[in-house]
């Protein structure tokens, strides 16, 4: 069974940093691109970033470019999102997801709250 | 403001057919395929339709997708109470070099 489990969320002050992780299992991790997405409380879905299966190609939403970095360690079946210079508007439930037929399978998310 | 435009709400009675529209542009829907997602209350989104019209296994054939030009639609026939959820369209955008979503449509089954 395919599983994605996010971790690393928490409360951080504006301007702070946080690193999210996503552990994948039940599939050949290195074969698939992986996404990060987020959803602010009561709001819609927002795509954040995409990384190719070999980690060589990355894409970012304009809202996070230059502040967030996506990476992966295929030897550990893990995906990461390093977030710097966090803003209150970055507060959201962050999901990782597998790219199969587009964004296909989602984890359950990890909550990030940016507040002083 | 979302790149793809969806109506914020839709409603229908059990057994009815409802459609949800998704409007984009030539850099996204006009040149790329559209996916639809269902998000039940308190849960993560799930893939409902991919490549404009295709259903993943396990998705009832009551759900169907279509695309024409720079717009796409999701149709739900034989509406059931368990269909009450938020629905999102998404597509890759060549100008933004990323995935864009619609703002979501909250479906209420009356």
Measured between alpha carbons, how far is A40 from A52 in angstroms, rounded to an integer? Answer: 25
Chains A, B: CB pairs < 8 Å = 61
pLDDT at residue number A30: 97
pLDDT in tens, A43-98: 999 999 999 999 999 999 999 999 999 999 999 999 999 999 999 999 999 999 99
pLDDT at residue number B1: 87
Q: Which residues of B touch A102 (CB under 8 A)?
A: 33, 35, 47, 50-51, 90, 92, 99
Q: Is A33 a residue whose pLDDT tops 90?
A: yes
Percent of chain B with pLDDT over 90: 99
- B11 reaches A (C-beta below 8 A): no
For residues B52-63, average pLDDT:
97
Q: Is A10 a residue whose pLDDT tops 90?
A: yes
Whole-number average pLDDT of chain A: 97
Report the candidate in B28, B66, B65 with the shortest Cα–Cα distance to residue B48: B65
B59 SS3 class: coil
For residues B53-79, average pLDDT:
97
pLDDT at residue number B101: 98
For residues B72-93, average pLDDT:
98
pLDDT tier, B55 (very low <50, low <70, confident <90, very high otherwise): very high
Q: Is B23 a residue whose pLDDT tops 90?
A: yes
Q: Which residues of A touch B35 (CB under 8 A)?
A: 101-103
DSSP letter for each residue of A19-45: EEEEEEESS-GGGSEEEEEEE-TTS-E
Q: Is A101 a residue whose pLDDT tops 90?
A: yes
């Amino acid at each position: 069974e395919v599983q994605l489990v996010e971790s690393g969320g928490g409360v951080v002050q504006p301007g702070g940093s946080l690193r999210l992780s996503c552990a994948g299992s039940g599939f050949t991790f290195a074969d698939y691109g992986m996404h990060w997405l987020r959803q602010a409380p009561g709001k819609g879905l927002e795509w954040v970033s995409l990384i190719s299966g070999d980690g060589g190609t990355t894409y970012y939403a304009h809202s996070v470019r230059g502040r967030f970095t996506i990476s992966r360690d295929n030897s550990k079946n893990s995906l990461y999102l390093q977030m710097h210079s966090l803003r209150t508007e970055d507060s959201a439930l962050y999901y990782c997801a597998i790219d199969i037929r587009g964004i296909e399978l989602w984890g359950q998310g990890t909550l990030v709250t940016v507040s002083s | 403001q979302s790149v793809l435009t969806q109506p914020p709400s839709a409603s229908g009675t059990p057994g009815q057919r409802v459609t949800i529209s998704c409007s984009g542009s030539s850099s996204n829907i006009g040149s790329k395929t559209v996916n639809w997602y269902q998000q039940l209350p308190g849960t993560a989104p799930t893939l409902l339709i991919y490549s404009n019209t295709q259903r993943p296994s396990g998705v009832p054939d009551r759900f169907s997708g279509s695309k024409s030009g720079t717009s796409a639609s999701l149709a739900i026939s034989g509406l059931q109470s368990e269909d009450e959820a938020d629905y999102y369209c998404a597509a890759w955008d060549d100008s933004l070099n990323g995935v864009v979503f619609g703002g979501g449509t909250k479906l209420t089954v009356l």
